[in-house]
Structure formats: structure tokens, C-alpha cells
Amino acid sequence: MTTIKIKGMSCKHCVMAVTKALGGIDGIKDVQVDLEKGEATFTEEKPIDRAIVRERIVKAGFDIAD
Ligand SMILES: [Cu+2]
């Protein structure tokens, strides 16, 4: 499992948007987003480039905390 910090989520709609953005990436599955912790957890079926993850998250209107 991989866990990343997501910046900018404030409600369950944000959670859904982030879940959808991550779930749309080829090779990522089992996406779980925790609003209170500001974290997203997922399984990588193959190594996923962090730049791609960041790009999708930014496109959805959020950002990743390093
Ligand atoms: Cu929201």
C-alpha cells in the first residue's frame, strides 16, 4: 500500500474527486481517501510515477504534500 498526503480537501466531494482522479490512473487500485488525515492510500499494481499522480491530483484541483 502507498500513502500520500493530499492538500486542499475540505469535504466529501473533495474525497470523491481525489478518489476518482487516483482511480483513473492505470495501475492504481483500491483507492481509499481519508478526509480527516488528508491522506490517500492505494495499491500500485506496477510502479507508478509520482509525477503522474501529482499531475492528476493537481488537475482535480488539489495538491500533494511532499
Ligand atoms: Cu470538497
Q: Which runs of consecutive H residues, i.e. helices, occur in the chain?
A: 12-23, 50-59
Torsion sign over Cα 10, 3, 29, 6: positive
Q: Which domain holds residue 27?
A: 2-65
Q: Binning pLDDT at 50, 70 and 90, where does residue 66 land?
A: confident
d(CA 25, CA 14): 17
- Ligand 1 mean position to 17 CA, how many Å? 8
Neighbours of ion ligand 1 (CB under 5 A): 10-11, 13-14
CATH of the domain at 23: 3.30.70.100
- Ligand 1 mean position to 14 CA, how many Å? 4
Q: Which tens digit of pLDDT belongs to each residue from 24-57?
A: 999 999 999 999 999 999 999 999 999 999 999 9
- Ligand 1 mean position to 51 CA, how many Å? 23
Quote the number of domains for the chain.
1
- Ligand 1 mean position to 11 CA, how many Å? 4
Mean pLDDT of 8-17: 98
